[in-house]
């Protein structure tokens, strides 16, 4: 089976436009702020050294280096060119580190932790949501799941702290903070991977506990609708096994809108769990963004925001590509419209 | 009953089904006893709520929670169904009792190919089977309902309603069951497709020699399809006998009502015109509504070919637009309502092009052209009381003088459709029946004193006994208030009685038009003849084609597409031009 070309072109144009408009907004918004980044850098130098000589000359030099004296149009075009090359300039807070290398260092950690916990949450949440509705679920399951929903109302920092206190501080099963142990050498060796998994467990668990309810509740609503559909009634009348009906007739149809929600969540999850990364001192994108905001480090904020948007747009695009394969009705639409 | 066919396949003995609710126990089926024999077709007829579907689901052991069987026995060819375990019951379904559900549109899994949905049923009963063998059996099943093997590779959305229902029949017979239960298998289909599907079902049932229970509310369809009739009312079997006994000498008054409520072409009218009111005063000399070469194209499909007509509006008339689903009749209605811009041509309301009118003109147009749609359940905002639904448009169009005026108007409108205003106005829509809601839609339209009412299938979702009432409410709008009406329907019998002029649409073309006594009473165009012949008459002497197994309307439709349109007589105030 092949996708209609028109459908592909359509989605690609949407992807490109989304990213372009968002990149432009990211560029405009900081320029509306009265704060001058060169001033901040100078202020930081002054704070470090006690006093700065030739302050005006240095300020002028910084502005020149950052290209802040160019006309806006030139700045914009340069910006677009750089962004295509993933060059977000230099961080002002940790001058002269490249923003792109800061992001490159943080991104794998967040992707690893967040994507993994999102995938786990997606599966657990949807399965539990489906079991809440399925008439053949054990009674215990149908009572226990709504009770577990209580966790959804706990803010992630609280659940994180609670988990840290129980499993790291009291039971000492897991390390308190950090992304990997100080004694292991980063690289593709078993000791390191083990350490990463060990360190990632608690933050991931705290995210799973507080977010599975989102998927479970959504799935529950979708399952109730699907349960009333005639094809589910006919499936039962066909004498199919209840578990087969659950997977192939009910979940298979109810999951479709959840997959779209999954794509949207991928972009948000980078920014969404800032506090979890913060309390576990996990050096991911959330922490990078958090620190950048505190330091008014505009290039980093810009770079992180762009990565978030790019990830969201790309994952939505990917879901659009996958969707026709999981829902034949979309293929039909794409072919005729 | 004399000829009872083969040996008994299903015996119900004092079957009772109840639904415990917080308000107390609702008894849905009360002590029902009945026997179905192999090779016989038994119709369960009754209105919604009569317990016919509940009985079927009870036999299948598929009652929705909290329903339960509170007493009696179900015997399926010697097996005590109520004594079976869950797993035994699962194995009984499809292999011994097949169920064909009501919603033809939605009864197949949208993300699975048709053949997979035939295979999983077989595999669930017989275990793993060689794929080639499965393919052969699904192809055979599809062939027995007149569908090609390629249909198996398609997804449900690629099939028409009639094809989907035939797939369900193929599924029902694939394991050769002793009993088939078909729950209103044709309720969403037009007459021609209905005839084809019913003939297929009868043919399949005869071939496998099973018993058949056909559930429905249409006396005509029953007469054409079954051998015996069981009449249910409020969960009680009020009458049971052969079709001949029931049609020719119905004993129970309820059965007599059911038979007499079927409108017949040429029979006595259920309407009693009293007055003939003049049309409301108009401040324009232009015709009320005018189509100038209007057509509508969706992608590569032409839903409506160019048509022109003029409705003067000075002589109130009821114009019926009839045809099968997909004939373009609803497209025509939505173009008239301005919801759907025409692809070519212009729609003029009192001389103004609908696409070019300003806000004030639009408001006037909306007030003067009101609509009644098919689904009375979807037409109300569930959050507002009926009072709000009625008064809001009245105020919005600036017709209200004061509160007392609104109240008086609401009461008058409710009275006109035979509803007690004190009873219905304070209620929420979900507290009313479908029939009551549809009458309120008519009342709401009436309050605005429109000049034209567009009624798109206003009674197709309402119980048969209520149809006549609602149609006479609509008829009264013309008769007592002088409002012109465009009645869009697939039901030729009601169109025959209600209308002054009939247009028959076929694939977007007007094929025959004129006064109903000529067009429906004596059809000249082959397509109109096909439609009339497909009506299931509640008359044993007027057969639908009992022995026409594998009847296929394609040839007749092809002939109809060749024939030139037939324009019959005219009525004052309406002029139709067909290219």
Domain boundaries defined on chain B: 8-260, 289-525+563-578
CATH superfamily, region B8-260: P-loop containing nucleotide triphosphate hydrolases (3.40.50.300)
Q: Is the pLDDT of residue B548 over 60?
A: no
Residue B88, chain A, CB below 8 Å: the answer is no
Lowest-confidence region among A15-19, A39-43, B505-509: A39-43
pLDDT of the residue at A283: 79
Same fold, B8-260 and B289-525+563-578: yes
pLDDT the model gives residue A235: 94
Element (H, E) at A207: helix A190-227
- Which residue's structure tokens are 């004399």? B2
Name the closest residue on chain A to residue B121, using Cα atoms.
A238
| pLDDT for position B285 | 76
Q: Which residues of B touch A136 (CB under 8 A)?
A: none
User: Quick check: A241 and B90 CB within 8 A?
Assistant: yes
pLDDT beyond 50 at B2? no
pLDDT tens profile B402-454: 899 999 999 999 988 888 999 899 999 888 888 888 889 989 998 998 999 99
B305 or B264: which carries more pLDDT confidence?
B305
Nearest chain A residue to B124, by CA: A240
Q: Which domains does chain A have, with CATH numbers?
A: 1-89+299-337 (no CATH), 108-283 (1.10.3720.10)
Which of A16-25, B183-192, B233-242, B508-517 shows the lowest per-residue confidence on average (mean pLDDT)? B183-192
Does A230 contact B107 at a Cβ distance shorter than 8 Å? yes
**Residues B33, B237 contacting (CB under 8 angstroms):** yes
Asked if pLDDT for residue B3 goes beyond 60, the answer is no
| Predicted TM-score of the model (pTM) | 0.80
Q: Please report how many Cα atoms fall inside a 13 Å half-sphere around the Cα of residue B497, on the Cβ side.
A: 21
The token pair that represents B423 in the structure block: 């009873």
pLDDT at position B478? 86
pLDDT at A334: 47
> Above 90 in pLDDT, residue A174?
no
Confidence of residue B104 (pLDDT cuts 50, 70, 90): low
> Bigger pLDDT: B464 or B205?
B205
Instruction: Label the pairing between strands B8-21 and B24-37.
Output: antiparallel
Q: How many inter-chain contacts (A to B, CB under 8 Å) are there?
A: 79
Per-residue buried b or exposed e for A205-244, using 16+ beta carbons within 10 Å of the residue's own CB: bbbbbbbbbbbbbbbbebbeebbebbbbbbbbbbbbbeee
Is A187 an 8 Å CB contact of chain B? no
Q: Is the pLDDT of residue A332 over 60?
A: no
- What pLDDT is attached to residue B82? 93
Per residue in B308-355, pLDDT tens?
A: 999 988 888 899 999 887 788 888 999 999 888 999 999 998 888 988
Task: Determine the 3-state secondary structure of B257 from DSSP.
Answer: helix
Tell me the chain B residues in contact with residue A243 when contact means C-beta distances shorter than 8 Å: none
Give the best residue of B84, B111, B116, B155 to mutate against chain A (max A CB count within 10 A): B111
Does B124 contact A240 at a Cβ distance shorter than 8 Å? Answer: yes
Judge if ipTM > 0.85.
Answer: no
Q: What is the CA radius of gyration of chain B?
A: 26
Is residue B202 within 8 A of residue B31, CB to CB? The reply is no
Q: What percent of chain A has pLDDT over 90?
A: 17
B chain contacts of residue A252, beta-carbon cutoff 8 Å = 109, 111
CB B369 within 8 A of CB B449: no
Residue contact B106–A230, C-beta within 8 A: yes
Q: Which of A123-132, B94-103, B119-128, B455-464 has the lowest mean pLDDT?
A: B455-464
A333 CB within 8 Å of a chain B CB: no
Structural class in CATH, domain B289-525+563-578:
alpha beta
Which of chain A's residues have a Cβ under 8 Å away from the Cβ of B98? 237
A97: which residues sit within 8 A by CB, 6+ positions away?
A: A90, A91
B125 touches chain A (CB under 8 A): yes
Give yes or no for B157 touching A (CB within 8 A). yes
pLDDT higher than threshold 80 for residue B275: no
For the residues B168-185, what does the mean pLDDT come to? 93
What are the residues whose beta carbons fall under 8 Å from the beta carbon of B502, sequence distance 6 or more?
Answer: B319, B320, B321, B322, B495, B496, B512, B513, B514, B515, B516, B519, B520
pLDDT tens digit sequence for A187-212: 777 888 888 888 888 888 888 888 88
Across all residues in chain B, what is the average pLDDT? 87
Q: Which of B112, B155, B171 sits opposite A238 (nearest CB)?
A: B171
Model confidence pLDDT, tens digit, residues A248-283: 999 999 999 999 888 888 777 766 567 777 777 777
Nearest Cα of chain B lies from the Cα of A230 at a distance, in angstroms, of 5
Give me the pLDDT at residue A271, please: 62
């Amino acid at each position: 089976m092949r996708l209609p070309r028109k459908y592909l072109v359509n989605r690609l144009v949407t992807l490109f436009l989304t990213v372009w408009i968002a990149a432009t907004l990211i560029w405009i918004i900081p320029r509306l702020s009265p704060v001058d980044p060169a001033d901040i850098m100078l202020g930081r130098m002054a704070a470090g050294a006690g006093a700065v000589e030739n302050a005006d000359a240095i300020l002028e030099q910084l502005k020149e280096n950052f290209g802040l004296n160019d006309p806006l149009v030139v700045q914009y075009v340069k910006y677009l060119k750089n962004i295509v090359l993933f060059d977000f300039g230099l961080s002002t807070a940790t001058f002269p580190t490249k923003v792109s290398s800061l992001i490159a260092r943080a991104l794998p950690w967040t992707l690893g932790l967040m994507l993994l916990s999102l995938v786990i949450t997606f599966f657990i949440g949807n399965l539990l949501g489906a079991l809440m509705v399925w008439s053949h679920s054990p009674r215990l399951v149908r009572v226990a799941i709504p009770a577990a929903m209580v966790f959804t109302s706990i803010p992630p920092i609280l659940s994180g702290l609670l988990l840290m206190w129980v499993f790291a501080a009291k039971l000492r099963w897991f390390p308190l903070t950090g992304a990997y142990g100080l004694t292991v050498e980063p690289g593709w060796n078993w000791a390191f991977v083990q350490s990463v998994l060990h360190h990632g467990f608690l933050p991931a668990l705290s995210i799973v506990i507080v977010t599975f309810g989102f998927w479970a509740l959504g799935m529950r609503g979708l399952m109730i609708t699907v349960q009333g559909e005639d094809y589910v009634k006919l499936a039962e009348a066909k004498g199919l096994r209840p578990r087969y009906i659950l997977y192939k007739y009910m979940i298979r149809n109810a999951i479709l809108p959840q997959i779209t929600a999954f794509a949207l969540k991928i972009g948000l999850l980078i920014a969404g769990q800032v506090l979890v990364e913060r309390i576990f001192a996990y050096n991911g994108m959330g922490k990078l963004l958090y620190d950048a905001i505190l330091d008014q480090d505009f290039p980093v904020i810009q770079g992180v925001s762009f990565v978030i948007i790019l990830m969201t747009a790309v994952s939505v695009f990917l879901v659009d590509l996958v969707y026709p394969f999981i829902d034949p009705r979309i293929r039909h639409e794409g072919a005729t419209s | 009953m004399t000829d009872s066919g083969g040996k008994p396949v299903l015996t119900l003995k004092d079957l009772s089904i109840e639904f415990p609710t917080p308000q107390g126990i609702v008894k849905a089926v009360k002590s029902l006893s009945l026997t179905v024999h192999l090779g016989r077709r038994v119709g369960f007829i009754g209105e919604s709520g009569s317990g016919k579907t509940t009985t079927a689901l009870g036999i299948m052991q598929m009652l929705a929670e909290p329903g339960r069987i509170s007493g009696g026995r179900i015997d399926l060819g010697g097996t005590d169904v109520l004594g079976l375990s869950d797993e035994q019951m699962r194995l009984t379904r499809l292999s011994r009792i097949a169920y064909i559900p009501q919603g033809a549109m939605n009864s197949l899994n949208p993300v699975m190919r048709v053949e997979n949905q035939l295979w999983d049923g077989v595999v669930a009963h017989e275990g793993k089977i060689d794929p080639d063998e499965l393919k052969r059996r699904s192809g055979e099943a599809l062939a027995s309902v007149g569908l090609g093997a390629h249909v198996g590779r398609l997804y449900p959305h690629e099939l028409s309603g009639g094809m989907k229902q035939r797939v369900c029949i193929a599924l029902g017979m694939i394991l050769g069951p002793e009993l088939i239960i078909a729950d209103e298998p044709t309720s969403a289909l037009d007459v021609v497709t209905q005839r084809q599907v019913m003939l297929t079902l009868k043919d399949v049932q005869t071939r496998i020699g099973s018993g058949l229970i056909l559930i429905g509310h249409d006396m005509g369809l029953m007469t054409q399809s079954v051998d015996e009739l069981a009449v249910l009312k409020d969960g009680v079997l009020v009458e049971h006998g052969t079709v001949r006994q029931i049609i020719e000498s119905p004993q129970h008054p309820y059965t007599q009502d059911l038979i007499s409520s079927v409108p017949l072409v040429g029979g006595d009218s259920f309407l009693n015109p009293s007055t003939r009111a003049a049309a409301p005063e108009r401040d324009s000399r232009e015709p009320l509504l005018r189509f100038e070469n209007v057509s509508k194209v969706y992608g590569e499909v032409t839903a409506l070919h160019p048509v022109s007509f003029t409705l003067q509006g000075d002589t109130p008339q009821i114009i019926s637009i009839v045809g099968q689903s997909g004939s373009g009749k609803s497209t025509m209605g939505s173009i008239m309502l301005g919801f759907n811009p025409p692809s070519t041509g212009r729609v003029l309301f009192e001389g103004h092009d609908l696409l070019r009118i300003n806000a004030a003109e639009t408001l006037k147009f909306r007030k003067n052209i009101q609509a009644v749609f098919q689904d009375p359940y979807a037409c109300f905002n569930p959050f507002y009381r009926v009072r709000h639904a009625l008064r809001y448009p009245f105020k919005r169009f600036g017709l209200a003088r004061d509160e007392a005026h609104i109240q008086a108007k609401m009461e008058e409108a409710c009275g006109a459709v035979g509803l007690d205003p004190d009873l219905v106005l304070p209620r929420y829509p979900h507290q009313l029946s479908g029939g009551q809601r549809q009458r309120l839609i008519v009342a709401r339209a009436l309050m605005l004193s429109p000049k034209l009412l567009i009624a798109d299938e206003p009674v197709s979702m309402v119980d048969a006994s209520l149809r006549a009432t609602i149609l006479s409410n609509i008829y009264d709008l013309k008769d007592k208030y002088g409002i012109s009406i465009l009645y869009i329907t697939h039901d030729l019998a009601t169109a025959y009685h209600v209308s002054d002029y009939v247009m028959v649409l076929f694939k977007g073309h007007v094929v025959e038009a004129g006064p109903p006594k000529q067009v429906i009473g004596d059809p000249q165009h082959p397509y109109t003849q096909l439609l009339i012949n497909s009506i299931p008459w509640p008359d044993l002497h007027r057969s639908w084609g009992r022995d026409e197994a594998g009847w296929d309307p394609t040839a007749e439709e092809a002939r109809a597409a060749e024939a030139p349109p037939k324009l019959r007589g005219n009525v004052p105030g309406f002029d139709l031009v067909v290219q």
